[in-house]
Amino acid sequence: MDAPAVAASARRLLSAAESQHAERFAVPAARDLFLASRALQRVLGSRLLHIAAPQVTFDRRCLHCDHDDHGKPRLVRLPWLDYSVSHSGTLVALAFTTRGQIGLDLEADDRRTDPGTLLPIIASPAEHQRLASLDTDARRRAALRLWTRKEAVTKLTGHGLALPLRQISAERAVAAVDPVPPGWPQAPVWIQDLAIAPGYTAALASSPEPAEVTVERVSTLDRLPV
């Protein structure tokens, strides 16, 4: 979903607290992404619960440290639904499932990424060694792909940035982690690359099985395919 196109209509769907939070953004593009992201999540809950979008409630408590506002978001009253949202550039993307857990990450390809700085932070020793042999442009693309795959995994597990990405191996179909942190899923965490839109790199993680993915580009909030 294109954030600037829906930002104006998104405001009426937000809670009072979210509307106040939106006003804290000094950069209009960042504010548009926030508005579109929160409205999209509310539309999802509204469709499934058959209530008005502003009445949808969320639980953002972290299941790993119990902080009340930086965990993987969950829709209250929908324990059977798992969803993940990501935004970059001008796009907001949302993935949801009723068959396990899911994690989504989206990055604009023109985002400034220096492989020399990024790889030591995100790559395991084996991944770093393999990517070091690539030319500069190929290494930058590979680093961005690796980043999205690992971010998708940590969004699925709910660990977020608390889990160093270099501990995760994500080049294959199933993610691996060493050492295994508390709260890591016992079932396999599958990863696949997504073609969401030209100029973007995206990845989806799913557990316990590989997800069957349908990608739909929507232009307005009332077109969400639920």
Per-residue pLDDT band at 69 (split at 50, 70, 90) = low
Is the pLDDT confidence value at 31 over 70?
A: yes
The arithmetic mean of pLDDT across residues 146-162, rounded, is 94
CATH code matching the domain that covers 57-211, chosen among 3.40.47.10, 3.10.129.10, 3.40.50.740, 3.90.470.20: 3.90.470.20
* pLDDT score for 224: 80
Mean pLDDT of 25-54: 94
Q: What is the mean pLDDT of the chain?
A: 92
Residue 177 has pLDDT above 80, yes or no: yes
Q: How far is CA 80 from CA 83, 84, 87, 96, 147, in A?
A: 10, 14, 24, 11, 28
Domain positions in the chain: 57-211
High-pLDDT (> 70) share of the chain, %: 98
According to DSSP, residue 133 is labeled T
Distance CA 211, CA 169 (A): 19
Q: Check whether 63 has a pLDDT greater than 80.
A: no
Cβ proximity of 110 and 199 under 8 Å: yes
Q: What is the pLDDT of residue 133?
A: 87
Q: Is the dihedral of CA 15, 217, 194, 202 positive or negative?
A: negative
By the 10 Å C-beta count (0-12 exposed, 13-18 middle, 19+ buried), 59 is classed as middle
CB atoms within 10 A of CB 52: 10
User: What is the token pair recorded at 165?
Assistant: 């990405």
Rounded to whole angstroms, how far apart are CA atoms 46 and 34? 18
Contact partners, residue 187, CB within 8 Å, separation at least 6: 100, 207, 208
Joined together, the tokens standing for residue 11 give: 């405001």
**183-197 pLDDT per residue, tens:** 999 999 999 999 999
Tell me what pLDDT residue 226 has: 75
Residues 6+ away with beta carbon under 8 Å from 90: 2, 3, 4, 29, 32, 33
CB within 8 Å of 116: residues ≥ 6 apart: none
Question: Which helix H or strand E contains 147, and what residues bound it?
Answer: helix 136-157
The pLDDT score that the predictor gives to residue 155 is 96
